[in-house]
Amino acid sequence: MKKQILLILFGLTLTLLNAQKNIIDSTLITKTTFIETINHSTIDGKLIKLKGYNYNSIYNQKYSNDTLTLMFARKGLGSQIFKLNITDTIVPEIILWSDYPAFNGKYFKSLEFEHLEIIANKKNYKSGDTIMIKLKCISKQHKGHIGHPKFEYKGTIKHILKN
């Protein structure tokens, strides 16, 4: 029984490590920022794939302590925010937001990931550096929306850090 549990835990660890990749490739070159959103929903047993907003610029860049945060969002009464927190690693986040407390009394809800793949040109950045990233991120299903969607972001980022 003990061996079976250890074998299951080992298998889950390998699956988790395989699902999340954060790679540094100093030869990576991206020409522009272009992030495509795809909503994978199931309605009446049919898989529906909706391609959404294409981000071609960064909505907000801010520094806080040792973390650089880049956010991609649209203005409106509710939607999604794609956020990258950059320290020693790049940690993406998909956030659903609303103009009323739609998520158990809260205005924001962060989604867990099913798949992460991020390739960056460097590990550490300073003011004046160019961030170049290639990414593909897919959230786990969100049961709080019609069709229980998965949200996917894929594309490239090229951004020069400002003070």
Number of structural domains (the chain) is: 1
In-domain check, residue 36: yes
In-domain check, residue 1: no
CA angle 126, 128, 133 (to 5 degrees): 75
Q: Decide if pLDDT at 92 tops 90.
A: yes
At 3, the pLDDT band (50, 70, 90 cuts) reads low
Q: What is the DSSP letter of 2?
A: H
Distances (CA, A) of 137 to 8, 12, 120, 149: 26, 19, 14, 14
Residue with more model confidence, 3 or 117: 117
Domain span holding position 127: 21-160
Mean pLDDT of the chain: 83
In-domain check, residue 45: yes
Of 2-6, 15-19, 75-79, highest mean pLDDT: 75-79
CB atoms within 10 A of CB 74: 12
Q: Decide if pLDDT at 107 tops 50.
A: yes
In-domain check, residue 13: no
Of 60-64, 99-103, 112-116, highest mean pLDDT: 112-116
What residues have CB less than 8 Å from 117, skipping those under 6 apart? 21, 135, 136, 137
In-domain check, residue 9: no
Q: Decide if pLDDT at 136 tops 90.
A: yes
> Which pLDDT score, from 0 to 100, does residue 12 have?
44
In-domain check, residue 10: no
Q: Decide if pLDDT at 74 tops 80.
A: no
In-domain check, residue 71: yes
pTM: 0.77
Distances (CA, A) of 30 to 96, 102, 143: 27, 37, 35
> Which pLDDT score, from 0 to 100, does residue 118 have?
95
In-domain check, residue 70: yes
Q: Which residue type sits at 54?
A: N
